[in-house]
Amino acid sequence: MPESSPQHDTPESRAVRWDAMAAIIASLIGFLALLVGGYTAWVQRYTANIQLEQVRAQVWPYLAMGSNNGGGDYEIFFENKGVGPAVVRSVQVFAKGRSVSGWDQMMKLLAFKPKERYARSPLNGVVLSPGETRHWIRFQNAADAVAFLTEWGRDKIQVRICYSSSLGDDWLLVQGLGRPERPRPVPGCPKISDSEQFHD
């Protein structure tokens, strides 16, 4: 019975195996390069997001509403307690379920007649710097202030203010006196007609 001769690799088969090995190594190197590139892009994006959040924190505005009826100050005011400017985009005031456009209309609606004159400062469209206080309405005596604030509370007057940071982030503050609320972030300030805005 004839013995079978051992099979030996031919130069052609060895060349084919080396070519296959080189192709596999090249594919692995390419895959690793993709992984490194993807990881680098993720790190850069993560770092950019962290930096953006830091910048947002540095220009964060925070509007708060308050009132005084003693110590010579008889007023309703807004204060920017944040660290960046607050750009007021819109102001709405609702009294007895109706939108009012200014202090004179509100006084008539509440049937309130102050004994002395009062001063007012527009809030709509202004920019409040960090730490700045806007004296929205100021009375000359405590009696007028107390009476007005009483009417304000009785009729549950609501103020809606939408404002932005210098980066364009928006917040909405919905508040009445004596009921402190925190501004909440919103995707954008609502489109409000001029007739619905509070202009005084």
Apex 135 CA angle, 191 and 127, nearest 5:
45
State the CB neighbour count (10 A cutoff) for residue 59: 16
pLDDT of residue 7: 55
Q: Tell me: the pLDDT tens digits for 45-54?
A: 777 666 656 6
Q: What average pLDDT does this structure show over 33-38?
A: 81
Q: How confident is the model at residue 179 (pLDDT cuts 50, 70, 90)?
A: low
Burial of 145 (0-12, 13-18, 19+ CB in 10 A): buried
Q: Is the pLDDT of residue 158 over 80?
A: yes
For residue 149, which of 178, 127, 174 has the smallest C-alpha distance? 178
pLDDT in tens, 53-70: 666 667 799 999 988 877
pTM of the predicted protein model: 0.73
Please compute, for residue 123, the number of CA atoms within 13 A of its CA located in the half-sphere on the CB side: 30
Q: Residue 11: its pLDDT value, please?
A: 55
Give the pLDDT band of residue 199 (cuts 50, 70, 90). Answer: confident
Question: What pLDDT is stored for residue 37 in this prediction?
Answer: 80
